[in-house]
A and B are shown apart, each in its own frame.
Chain A
Amino acid sequence: DGGITQSPKYLFRKEGQNVTLSCEQNLNHDAMYWYRQDPGQGLRLIYYSQIVNDFQKGDIAEGYSVSREKKESFPLTVTSAQKNPTAFYLCASSQSSYEQYFGPGTRLTVT
């Protein structure tokens, strides 16, 4: 059963802690993306990777970090430097410029 998995679905952290969100795909897609979604807003691009061992900053990369050591995996770390980390985080993958397939998302709450 092909697709994208994100875990966990809900995540709670205390302010000042780093947290890593998981994203795994078995679609054999080269490109992977991380978006942040806030209520009433569209999706904002955090980081993206078009090939293994390479990634680029999106529009709101400050306070986040990523790695792409394997084609299937693109974990996102939300660091303590991110001022407003509470949000819905979506991971996606695609092949070339075609449609993006999204995972179910992780809802992060930082208090």
Chain B
Amino acid sequence: GQQVMQIPQYQHVQEGEDFTTYCNSSTTLSNIQWYKQRPGGHPVFLIQLVKSGEVKKQKRLTFQFGEAKKNSSLHITATQTTDVGTYFCAGSYNQGGKLIFGQGTELSVKP
């Protein structure tokens, strides 16, 4: 079936270091969304990417959608302790279709 693979599963960084998580699909996606789940919380929407090669920024967060619309990445510059949580990508294979979630990357930040 359709799958979205996300790596790494865990990432431990020192505060101030950068962090990147990657998502990959074997087939072309219609769009991809990113969510953040704080420990003990529920996923919260961060952003949606739709266009091939799209890059969007939110302060220290940079989101990219690959040219072939099969991969995506989230990069955090100079991590802070408030960035702690699990980051999920979620892809859709057709407009209005259900989301397929990646396994998530759990980020821990050491002060």
B111 in the interface, Cβ–Cβ < 8 Å? no
Q: Any chain B CB within 8 A of the CB of A105?
A: yes
Given contacts A99-B48, A105-B42, contact A42 B95 (CB under 8 A): no
Q: Tell which of A14-22, A66-74, A76-84, A90-98 binds the partner.
A: A90-98
Is the CB–CB distance between B96 and A102 below 8 Å? no
Whole-angstrom distance between the alpha carbons of A48 and B96 in the complex? 12
Query: How many B residues face the partner with a CB closer than 8 A?
Result: 25
The distance in angstroms between the C-alpha atoms of A90 and B45, with both chains bound, is 14
Interface size class of A (residues with CB under 8 A): 20 to 34
Please tell me if the beta carbons of B98 and A90 are within 8 angstroms of each other in the complex.
Answer: no
Q: Quick check: A100 and B45 within 8 Å, CB to CB?
A: yes
Query: Does the CB pair A45–B48 fall under 8 Å?
Result: no
Q: Residues of B with Cβ closer than 8 Å to A?
A: 1, 6, 9, 30-31, 33, 41-45, 48, 88, 90, 92, 95-104
- 17 extra interface residue pairs, beta carbon distance < 8 Å, beyond A40-B103, A101-B45: A42-B6, A42-B88, A42-B101, A42-B103, A42-B104, A43-B43, A43-B90, A43-B101, A44-B101, A58-B98, A90-B43, A97-B31, A97-B96, A98-B48, A99-B45, A100-B45, A104-B41
